[in-house]
């Protein structure tokens, strides 16, 4: 149940963030999608931690690319 709630919140974020004019992500999948996939694969606590580490890596000066959970 908590897994579905957290992933649902991520989907809401994704829906509204698509309307923002800036659409850049240096990774595939995007950081929010990576977090949702990590939560599905590893559970809420570990998935959130992995997603936060991914967001930390998604900043200027860091290489991007394909990074699957």
pTM to 2 decimals?
0.84
Structural tokens at position 27? 């990774």
Residue 39, burial from CB neighbour count under 10 angstroms (0-12, 13-18, 19+): buried
The full set of domain ranges for the chain reads 1-66
Q: For residues 43 and 3, is the Cβ–Cβ distance under 8 A?
A: yes
Q: What is the pLDDT of the chain when averaged over all its residues?
A: 87
Residue 58: closest CA among 18, 27, 33, 28: 27
pLDDT for residue 29 is more than 70: yes
Report in angstroms the alpha-carbon separations of 7 from 13, 22, 30, 60: 10, 23, 14, 27
Most confident stretch, 12-16, 18-22, 42-46: 42-46
pLDDT range class, residue 61, cuts 50, 70, 90: confident
């Amino acid at each position: 149940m908590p897994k579905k709630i957290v992933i649902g919140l991520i989907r809401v974020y994704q829906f509204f963030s698509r309307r923002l004019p800036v659409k850049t992500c240096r990774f595939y999948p995007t950081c929010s999608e990576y977090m949702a996939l990590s939560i599905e694969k590893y559970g809420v606590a570990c998935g959130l931690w992995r997603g936060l580490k991914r967001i930390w890596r998604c900043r200027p000066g860091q290489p991007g690319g394909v990074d699957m959970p």
